[in-house]
Structure 1
Amino acid sequence: MGGKDSNHSISLLRDESTHLSLDTPFINPSMPWLRPAGSSSGLVCLNLLGLRVRSNYIVVWNPATKQFRFLPTTDEWDDHRLLGFEFFHDSRNYKVVNIPKPGRDNTIRAKVFTSSTKSWREVKSHYYCSSGAIIGGTLSSITNVVLYSPLGIMKQTSHVLSFNLRDEVFHAIPLPESSISGQIDLLSWKNSLPFLGGPKYKPTCELWVMTEEPSAGTTQITWVKQFILEPSAMPGYIIGPWKDEYLLGDAISDDQLHCYDPASQKSTRLPKHDHTHRLIYEKAINYVETLVSVD
């Protein structure tokens, strides 16, 4: 996805050299900002932000069929703090989850939209957070139908908040103590959940991967340090996963993309997209073309 100033566009990277601009009839000048919430089974969920107060919308779109659908509004329509999206093949149904800023009682809760009922409902958790707690939206990740987000207090990220879109249950997962310092980035890699972080004041960053093992009728979660990444080997910033690598936006040239392999710590510069205006790449999501209906 690329953008020019506040006017965003969406493009499709089929392979290393095929870069296609997509038609987005639901975007207009009154909605100059967008945030991808996720993609599943050929459907893409986007958050569109307008210039007017409370002009904040969620759209589900199939780029292959060009169908799109605006979802009904909720009470928290102006606070899409954290969004997730998943399509379920067994029920031919999709869900959108919106986790807003905790209310006056500091309870973490979710608003869940289900395509079969065409309505939102609230799901409360048994987790409470202080007024200084931060739930990160742009740093979130969805892996194996679970939405993950950093959960921090006073600029210290100590846990990962998870919400399973299938059974609609919250969990708070502790992070390794050595990584609890400042901000972390949640990613997706080889169908697992990794995070990028590391000890404070060190120039290198660490890529940790979450593992789940059955133990005495429950699931034991551990974090394994997979790689220590040298910033000098990364020519830019991570915008999302692609195959078993990551796409990087260039640190100097905004409209340049790179493929980066965290295992070998090698990067490849991709051919530039043929466009008529300057692009700034912001976020990449995986997409598979299908004919699934948005209804």
Structure 2
Amino acid sequence: MKIGILMSGQGAQSVGMGQDLYEQVPAYRETIDQASAVLGYDLMTEVIQNDAKLQQTRFAQPAIFAMSMGIHRALADKLGDVNSYLGLSLGEYSALTAAGAFDFEQAVALLKDRGAYMQTAGDQNPGKMVAVMHDDQGLVAEVLASLRAQGKRVYPANYNTFAQLVIGGIAADVDEAVAKLTEAGVTRMIPLPVSGAFHTPLLDQAAVSLQARLADEPIGTLQKTVYSNTTGQAFTDVKATLGEQITHPTYFAQALQGMLNDGVDVLIEFGPSNTLIKFSKKIGGKDIKRYNVSDVASYVAVLNMLKGE
């Protein structure tokens, strides 16, 4: 089997996430505690049990990363020869760390700052995001382009599947886009509970700050293929791509298709939810085996699968 690991992105978090893993899996607990030491606060008690903090970008990002990496470390010696990694936005840092680009503590420190940059930018430039469920994504892009030609600030943000495109921008402009898309025949659109218009130019300042922050960071040699949401292809220039990522659309669907085209036949998502596994059902065939690890029960199930039991 050829295993592809998916790493959860922001929005997957939930209060109490990973509590049973922390209590019962030593490698997981050690990972969370190591992240807490870098951050300067206790992730489990001060963030993961606190819904108000967990919904803030600056706290959610390192918390989700630490959870995904804790699961990865707990299963590492059983995973064998992983074929490739793919994370959604924030999850790219988990994927890159698992593949050797970043040291764990280095990545925690980076995400502490990245989350703060994005939190500040989102607070200064409030936005809105809406998931558009429609299989003609060209039509959606055309409507947004026509509005931008009129000076509106609304953009394609996340190509999650080939029939789900999240749009984002200034709230009033997103609302106008929703009205135009309704007129064009789109019938299903879902507002998302987010604190900013991520992956749009509204976060320009966060991107500038992150690029400066990344400039002197050492990047290790990737030991595995990691697919990029920003390009839809395998990472080549890590710093440049991560610098662009905050303000550019994500192409998860295209990146996952590349992973599957490379022969991956088992997908496992590490993180608080199974969102990416759900996306994968809209992208890959039914012959792909799919798993997620978010608690002790799913951890044991995947552990047994990897051991051939």
TM-score, normalization: structure 1? Answer: 0.27
Q: Which has the higher contact order (CA 8 A, sep 6+)?
A: 2
Structure 1 or 2: more helix by fraction:
2
Higher strand share: 1
